[in-house]
Structure 1
Amino acid sequence: MRADPAVLLDVSRLISRLGGGPATGIDRVEAEWLAHLQGRPHLLLCRVRRGQLLLPPQAGAAILRWLGGALDGLPPPDLLDRLRGRRTLPARAEAALRRMALMRAGPEGRGLGRAALAHLGQAVYVNVGHANLQAGLLANLRPLPRAVLIHDTIPLDHPEFTRAGQADRFRDRFVAAVAGAELILTVSDATRGDVLRWRARLGLPGHAPVVAAPIGTRLAAPDPAGLPADLDLSRPFFVALGTIEPRKNHALLLDAWQMLGRMPDPPRLFIIGRRGWENREVFSRLDRLPPGGPVRELSDLDDGAVAALLARSHGLLMPSRAEGFGLPLTEAAGRGIPVLATPLPAARETLGDYAIWLSPDAPADWAAELARLSDAAPRRLPPLPVPDWDRHFALFHDGLSRSLRDPSVTAM
């Protein structure tokens, strides 16, 4: 196989997430892969209602336009979706993609592998979105080699942080990926260790190399135009960035700000991110925040607005209890913004001594450090070199080349 084979990229996650609020880290990775493939030999695969679609390259250009907000050209949902009351953006996108499809297949994609091979010649199936991972589909994609990116094993390690039933669904996807792929990529060395540990614990085949290929960080240009007009930036403030879910540990920040409330003029906290799941107590606390108080919840900010806040902040706060990588960490460190975070393996691997490391169970320590930092002008550090996308793609191609040179892999 040539060094850089054509790619059959699975975009099922991107389509399912259209209109679902600010992009998550996994969304951004799938979008980066899609953008990377523009102008390169590729096709797309998308799971839709009751089946799978094999899509031409122009579908990718359309999806990127939709992600950018150009939705005017989307048709209405198909008749069956309309009859069922499904009028969402994903339903409209699926209607558009069905019209472009090179081939339609059932849910397990029978015949898709050979059809993609006929269009592309040498090619590899790539799934970077934790979606559409099922054993039957992966088997039916043969004779294409299959490469899967695993972002973390949090649902296996910490089922208490996930929605009901998600841990079991993730386990099924994990088993399908590890048993059915020729190459497993991970977003960090820490996650690579987690994948190897769970592969052994579940007794899964060990034929596929597991390669750490840290994802890149794209630093958006600051653009304050997207910030709320009434946002007061005249006082010291900190930023917490990410979905409001249990493992992100926003409760610690709210506890710390209760302690800071004893100060005559406490710093501000801007919590940026959509509300997630299984987090009713934190949501209730957020709902009770007084208008004009030191803590404010912000959602639906675009990347430029988030960058503008980071650029003026006293620091990024990330008291997470579990992470596979943590894009906000590199988005801040790449700009020289101070970072206060919990010393998780993936975070320590990425930031080293750059961050101020604090326990996820010590709000008083966080409050003390926040008071110290806010008592001076915003501190700026030498920007930390952060992973770039070119290296991620190079590691993918190198890992794929090595895996396919191994006779024990090519025989699978």
Structure 2
Amino acid sequence: MHVVLDISRLLGLAWAGQPTGIDRVEFAHSRHWRGFPARDVTFVAQSPWGWYAALPDNLARGLLQEADRAVAPGKEGLLTRFRAMAAAALSLNFYGVGRRDLARRVAGRNDSVFLIVSHRALHHERATGALIALGARFVPLLHDVIPLSHPEYTRPQATKQHVAKIDMVARRAAGAMITTQAAADSLARYLERRQQPRPRMAITGLGLDLRSVPVRRSAPATRPYFVMLGTIEPRKNHLLALQIWRELAQQDPEGAPRLLIIGRRGWENEHVFRMLDRGQFHGLVEECGRLPDSEVARLVRGATAVLCPSFTEGFGLPLAEAIALGTPVIASDIPAAREVGGEVPEYLHPLDFLGWRRAILEMSDPRHPRREAQLARLAGWSAPSWNRHFSIVENFLSDLVRGPSMPSLPVESGRVVAI
């Protein structure tokens, strides 16, 4: 099997800095596939004109290793060498050398698979279509369909682009990988409403990165604190937590637990931003911004609990990372959270203000039965792993390249089920 992996998004991190959750998935795939010999893997990037080009193998592997050192752990300020290597890779695209090399490599094999594991360029049909025309099977990894199922939480342009992306997947993909059964079900409903074909799909899950970071045990916090982890955007429901902490600050500013909000500010969330900037929380709420992975892991491990009150999720990495670090979780009762967290978290409706407030106060008591019960459930939880993810991915891709295109098949966790 010949894997053609798009790493355009990672090259962009040379200028963008810290990785997002989707960036980390592309990092994981770049690590995995560079363990294969050069004859079986081609790393590609997209030029400003749209077409894809192969990167010289030594350069690609070197810059990916540099990206692992400088960017993957959530660091900033170590980008000089990575930026120079990324610029060199892009310059080869500009001259077209890599474009010809890619066409030669794909046309010379009958088992090429073109992977896009971010949502970055799924709607660029002309560029992807050129590889399909040469014989490559197009296989994307879909993280969610939130812009389609919940357009109120995304910008109009993002929703419009996502429609085009899913349309491209439905018409041209040989198969699609998707992170959760919940996301696959949402995608299937969308395609059925639009009477579009459903590609063969495999539920791959994701792996975790925070749990691999060495975490030094620190002294217990003098006051219990809770963590919210992720971009501050409307669907994450930071407003609920801030309303609870505003009330706690008014009623018991000396004895109430603290709230740490980790993540960058997103979009169309001005009311939340105003509360963060002007709210009277008496020091109980701290906006931490983006932090290196080691610091995030330290804070999550020391937290009383991680709060995940999202209205919708494609997977829910903060929930999984918290449980993997041994930290209790209070989460929204939504399908993706149930699928990832299993029986471990406390589940509440994302609009149940009184229920969340009560759960937060009860979990703050280290001897409360609610907290002790969740800590006991933690031991039986099986963490998502990259090993399992890539086992499913490799089996799925091997099935695709062994046979001709097949009709749509129903989906089951981790595999395609024969009718």
Whole-angstrom distance in 2 between the partners of 1:331 and 1:176: 32
**RMSD value, Cα:** 2.8
Aligned partners of 1:128 and 1:150 also within 8 Å:
yes
Q: Secondary structure at the match of 2:54?
A: strand
Task: Select 1:220's aligned residue among 208, 212, 231.
Answer: 212
Aligned partners of 1:11 and 1:129 also within 8 Å:
no
TM-score, L = length of structure 1:
0.85
Q: Secondary structure at the match of 2:212?
A: coil
Give the 3 Å change call, closer, same or farther, for CA 291–368 of structure 1 in structure 2.
closer
Aligned partners of 2:257 and 2:364 also within 8 Å:
yes
Match of 1:171 in 2: 163
1:348 matched to 2:338? The reply is: yes
1:183 maps to a residue whose letter is G
Q: Secondary structure at the match of 1:354?
A: coil
Give the 3 Å change call, closer, same or farther, for CA 73–376 of structure 1 in structure 2.
closer
Match of 2:69 in 1: 68
Q: Secondary structure at the match of 1:27?
A: helix
Match of 2:57 in 1: 57
Q: Secondary structure at the match of 2:81?
A: coil
Q: Secondary structure at the match of 1:407?
A: coil
1:153 matched to 2:149? The reply is: no
Match of 1:394 in 2: 391
Match of 1:250 in 2: 238
2:156 maps to a residue whose letter is A
Give the 3 Å change call, closer, same or farther, for CA 33–197 of structure 1 in structure 2.
same
Give the 3 Å change call, closer, same or farther, for CA 402–122 of structure 1 in structure 2.
closer
Q: Secondary structure at the match of 1:254?
A: helix
Uncovered stretches (5+) of structure 2, i.e. residues with no partner: 71-77, 408-419
Aligned partners of 1:48 and 1:94 also within 8 Å:
no
Match of 1:210 in 2: 201
1:401 maps to a residue whose letter is S
CA-to-aligned-CA distance 1:272-309 (integer Å, 9 cap, x gap): 00011111110111112458610100122111111111
Q: Secondary structure at the match of 1:306?
A: helix
Deviates more, 1:19-28 or 1:343-352: 19-28
Match of 1:79 in 2: none
Uncovered stretches (5+) of structure 1, i.e. residues with no partner: 75-88
Percent same amino acid among aligned pairs? Answer: 34
Give the 3 Å change call, closer, same or farther, for CA 49–94 of structure 1 in structure 2.
farther
CA-to-aligned-CA distance 1:126-170 (integer Å, 9 cap, x gap): 111001212222211120111111100000011111123110011
Aligned partners of 2:63 and 2:86 also within 8 Å:
no
1:144 matched to 2:133? The reply is: no
1:22-171 correspondence to structure 2 within 5 Å: 22-40=18-36, 41-51=40-50, 52-58=52-58, 59-69=60-70, 70-73=78-81, 94-100=86-92, 104=96, 114-117=103-106, 122-133=111-122, 134-142=124-132, 143-171=135-163
C-alpha displacement of 1:390: 1.4
Q: Secondary structure at the match of 2:45?
A: strand
Aligned partners of 2:53 and 2:102 also within 8 Å:
no
TM-score, L = length of structure 2:
0.83
2:387 maps to a residue whose letter is D
Whole-angstrom distance in 2 between the partners of 1:34 and 1:289: 43
Match of 1:304 in 2: 294
Aligned partners of 1:259 and 1:364 also within 8 Å:
no
Aligned partners of 2:8 and 2:45 also within 8 Å:
yes
Aligned length: 382
Whole-angstrom distance in 2 between the partners of 1:18 and 1:287: 30
1:8 matched to 2:8? The reply is: no
Task: Select 1:288's aligned residue among 257, 265, 278.
Answer: 278
Match of 1:373 in 2: 363
